[in-house]
């Protein structure tokens, strides 16, 4: 509801800028032409992932991951990290935040393990793992348009090194800070917590005091819930396996995503029609995004990007790229990563500079809770499951991880990216 209210306010403000001539009407039509296909994709994929989740696909994977962990919490953590990375890359960071977070909490509680390191892994990878493909992040889709419609393969070729680094750095931090929690064992044959494992709370400590805390009572066993419909489960799996390669094939992404949404909707109309509700469409997100686009476009039109250019600099050397990336990260944590990208986009006139900006606005939003929508969605899911995250501790951890991740990722870009030492 808060997101919808903010979106409505932004739309009103944007409407005022159009009515007063601050933003010319022709510029509005150009904006609509650019973002309408992207928003269509976002809506369609939201419906797809929600229905896939309703079919029990994510819960099925969660049970398998717990089995494949073979009683080793570090192996389970690595498997969940891999799942979070793949979910982010192919289904977007918001999907990971919304649908994977409850799965991760449930799996760790069933195993009797601390929730915090697994939950933190989920949200950090939801942000930092979103660099590889256009579909991974809304900022990437906007950048793809600015890069003259670069193919998904070309985009991945540009971003592969920063993407790998941006995944490994946060994982290394978690592995070191939570080494005691991760090197435990859990019972694979029972849903009760293994002896000695703490499911109630865990923390990252600094200067002798707890700075991040996650807690919550044990949730009801997921296996005690409704038995999945095998037709829906298998059908959704087939649709998902077919739509993922189509999304990176070069076809306009709204086409395969819309087709997948229609197929799944028809399948659910036959098997479980009560699931098909208007609420499947992310109205709040749409309202917020449309309002934000309109307001940011108006600020760009009156010269906000010129002012930011004084901070972001020019050039494609390592320090210039790092300067742009840090500007994007700062803007993300002060405002949000979407307006930060839109305001700095005119300053990223080459592939290398665009890649640096994406590193900043994708891997940088690890400090402020509002830095990315995915972080807010993640926190909302945790709250619903009685898991408490203290923002000061979260921000302190992010202040360490975000700059190191950006620095290392930009270094990778400078080495193997356009004009790099190995290109």
Burial-class residue 176 by CB neighbours within 10 Å (0-12, 13-18, 19+).
Answer: exposed
Contact status, residue 35 vs residue 293, Cβ threshold 8 Å: yes
Is the per-residue pLDDT at 207 higher than 50?
Answer: no
Residue 32: how many CB atoms within 10 A of its CB? Answer: 13
Angle at which helix 138-146 crosses helix 337-344, to 10 degrees, equals 10
217-242 pLDDT tens trace? 333 444 445 567 889 999 999 998 89
Rounded-to-integer distance, Cα 352 and Cα 153, Å? 16
| Tokens read off for 137 | 């992040």
Rounded-to-integer distance, Cα 316 and Cα 269, Å? 53
Half-sphere exposure of 258 (CA within 13 A, CB side): 10
The per-residue pLDDT for 251 is 85
362-390 pLDDT tens trace? 999 999 998 998 898 898 889 888 888 88
Give me the percent of the chain exceeding a pLDDT of 70. 89
pTM of this structure: 0.82
Give me the percent of the chain exceeding a pLDDT of 90. 41
Domain map (residue ranges) of the chain: 2-416
Residue 329 or residue 304, greater confidence: 329
Give me the mean pLDDT over the 55-59 stretch.
84
Is the per-residue pLDDT at 57 higher than 90?
Answer: no
Rounded-to-integer distance, Cα 240 and Cα 214, Å? 32
H or E stretch covering 9: helix 2-19
139-152 pLDDT tens trace? 999 999 889 889 99
DSSP characters over 167-236: HHHHHHHHHHHTHHHHS-B--SS-SSPPTT---SEEEEEETTEEEEEEE-PPPPPGGGSPPPPHHHHHHH
Is the per-residue pLDDT at 195 higher than 70?
Answer: no
Give me the mean pLDDT over the 302-324 stretch.
82
Contact status, residue 417 vs residue 423, Cβ threshold 8 Å: yes
Is the per-residue pLDDT at 193 higher than 60?
Answer: no
Across the strands, what pairs with 72? 185
Give me the mean pLDDT over the 331-358 stretch.
91
């Amino acid at each position: 509801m808060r997101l919808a209210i903010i979106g409505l306010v932004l739309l009103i403000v944007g409407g005022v800028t159009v009515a007063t001539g601050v933003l010319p009407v022709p510029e509005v039509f150009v904006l609509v032409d650019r973002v309408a296909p992207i928003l269509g994709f976002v809506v369609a994929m939201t419906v797809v992932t929600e229905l896939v989740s309703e079919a029990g696909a994510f819960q099925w994977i969660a049970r398998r991951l717990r089995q494949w962990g073979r009683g080793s919490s570090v192996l389970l953590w690595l498997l969940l990290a891999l799942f979070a990375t793949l979910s982010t890359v192919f289904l977007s960071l918001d999907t990971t935040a919304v649908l994977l977070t409850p799965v991760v909490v449930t799996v760790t509680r069933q195993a009797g393990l601390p929730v915090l390191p697994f939950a933190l892994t989920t949200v950090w990878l939801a942000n930092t793992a979103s660099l590889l493909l256009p579909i991974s992040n809304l900022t990437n889709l906007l950048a793809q348009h600015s890069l003259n419609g670069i193919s998904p393969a070309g985009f991945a070729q540009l971003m592969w090194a920063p993407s790998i680094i941006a995944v490994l750095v946060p994982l290394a931090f978690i592995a070191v800070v939570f080494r005691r929690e991760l090197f435990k064992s859990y019972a694979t044959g029972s849903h009760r917590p293994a002896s000695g494992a703490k499911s109630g709370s865990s923390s990252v400590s600094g200067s002798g005091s707890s700075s991040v805390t996650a807690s919550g009572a044990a949730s009801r066993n997921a296996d005690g819930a409704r038995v999945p419909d095998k037709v829906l489960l298998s059908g959704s799996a087939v649709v998902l396996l077919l739509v993922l390669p189509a999304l990176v094939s070069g076809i306009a992404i709204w086409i395969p995503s819309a087709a997948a949404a229609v197929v799944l909707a028809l399948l659910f109309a036959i098997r479980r029609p009560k699931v098909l509700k208007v609420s499947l469409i992310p109205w709040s997100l749409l309202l917020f995004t449309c309002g934000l686009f309109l307001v940011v476009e108006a600020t760009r039109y009156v010269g906000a990007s010129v002012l930011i250019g004084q901070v972001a600099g020019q050039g494609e050397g390592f320090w210039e790229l790092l300067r742009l990336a840090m500007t994007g990260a700062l803007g993300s944590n002060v405002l949000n990563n979407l307006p930060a990208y839109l305001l700095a986009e005119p300053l990223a006139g080459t592939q290398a500079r665009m890649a640096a900006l994406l590193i900043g606005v994708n891997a940088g939003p690890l400090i402020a809770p509002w830095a990315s929508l995915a972080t807010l969605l993640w926190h909302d899911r945790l709250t619903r499951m009685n898991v408490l995250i203290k923002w000061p501790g979260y921000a302190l951890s992010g202040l360490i991880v975000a700059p190191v991740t950006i620095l290392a990722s930009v270094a990778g870009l400078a080495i193997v990216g356009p004009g790099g030492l190995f290109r």
